[in-house]
């Protein structure tokens, strides 16, 4: 919310990473990764596409820019007299739109009980690896992100008893905004694995998370930092570690065995 407000106070202007850190996390020692994660989360909530943004645009090496139109809520309410009041009204309008969107989605899901039934009928030990997001500067490492996805699929297929959706099926959903339940039904799986790739200098950071489709909860997540010198080795190492972790995690989260959210 503070991030959204900070960007909305400077519509059309580039807000640097340092300014965001100072204004959104005042008095707290955090790194630029916090900004990247918050922007990614906000974009996900807004249904925004980083490559073709409607709300927040990335300005490589500089920061982020609010490109959505910011204006006061058009109602008979008293007009805000101050600049701060004006911005709060604008952000309030945007938040209200987000809440209405979530309510509509929730109502649609609740009005279709067959959706939950369909997910429950998927094989208990089945998973799809969704294309990893390229969150590096200028998004110049999409090939590596796609390779990470394929390497994970290859490693997971070697786990006995685990059904893994084919790469072709997973990549058909690349760039599409779909609810978890719909993705699960489309690919015929009970679990989804997604993640992202980031880079800072000579270091790369690969994040992965396992989502249980029937309730949408994240049951496992981990972040891996590796030197960005041998990309094939990075892919192989990370895929191996993720596969090892998921081998235990999926088994532990079977119905009747409880849910374990900590990393193995």
Parse the chain into domains and list their residue ranges: 1-111, 116-252
Average pLDDT (73-90) is 55
| 181/119 Cα distance (integer angstroms) | 7
Average pLDDT (177-204) is 91
At residue 51, the pLDDT reads 81
**How many CA atoms lie within 13 Å of 79's alpha carbon, on the beta-carbon side?**
2
- Lookup result for tokens 């300014």: 19
Whether 125 has a pLDDT exceeding 70, the answer reads yes
At residue 151, the pLDDT reads 92
Query: Of the candidates 4, 11, 26, 13, which has an alpha carbon nearest to the alpha carbon of residue 63?
Result: 13
Report the range of poorest mean pLDDT among 4-8, 90-94, 227-231.
90-94
- The residue count of the chain comes to 264
| 146/133 Cα distance (integer angstroms) | 8
* Pair 200, 228: CB distance under 8 Å: no
Whether 210 has a pLDDT exceeding 80, the answer reads yes
| 104/16 Cα distance (integer angstroms) | 34
Whether 263 has a pLDDT exceeding 50, the answer reads no
At residue 75, the pLDDT reads 52
- Model pTM score: 0.55
Query: What is the architecture of the domain spanning 116-252?
Result: 3-Layer(aba) Sandwich (3.40)
If pLDDT is split at 50, 70 and 90, which confidence band does 261 have? very low
Q: Is the dihedral of CA 66, 131, 169, 185 positive or negative?
A: negative
At residue 225, the pLDDT reads 92
Burial 56-67 (b: 16+ CB within 10 A, else e): bbbeeeebbbbe
Residue 60 or residue 222, greater confidence:
222
Query: What is the architecture of the domain spanning 1-111?
Result: Orthogonal Bundle (1.10)
């Amino acid at each position: 919310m503070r991030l959204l407000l900070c960007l909305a106070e400077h519509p059309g202007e580039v807000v640097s990473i340092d300014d965001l850190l100072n204004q959104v996390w005042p008095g707290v020692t955090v790194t630029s990764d916090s900004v990247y994660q918050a922007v990614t989360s906000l974009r996900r909530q807004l249904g925004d596409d980083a490559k073709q943004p409607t709300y927040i645009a990335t300005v490589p090496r500089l920061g982020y820019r609010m490109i959505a139109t910011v204006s006061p809520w058009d109602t008979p309410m008293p007009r805000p007299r101050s600049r701060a009041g004006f911005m709060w009204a604008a952000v309030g309008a945007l938040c209200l739109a987000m809440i209405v969107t979530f309510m509509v989605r929730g109502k649609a899901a609740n009005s279709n009980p067959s959706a939950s039934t369909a997910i429950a009928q998927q094989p208990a030990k089945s998973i799809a690896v969704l294309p990893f997001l390229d969150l590096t500067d200028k998004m110049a490492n999409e090939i590596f992100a796609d390779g990470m996805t394929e390497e994970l699929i290859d490693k997971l297929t070697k786990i006995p008893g685990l059904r893994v959706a084919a790469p072709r099926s997973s990549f058909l959903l690349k760039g599409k905004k779909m609810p978890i339940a719909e993705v699960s039904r489309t690919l015929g799986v009970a679990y989804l694995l997604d993640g992202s790739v980031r880079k800072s200098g000579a270091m790369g950071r690969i994040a992965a998370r396992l989502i249980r489709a029937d309730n949408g909860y994240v049951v496992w997540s981990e972040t891996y930092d590796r030197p960005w010198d041998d990309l094939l080795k990075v892919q192989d190492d990370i895929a191996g570690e993720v596969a090892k972790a998921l081998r235990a995690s999926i088994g532990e989260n079977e119905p009747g065995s409880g849910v374990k959210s900590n990393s193995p």
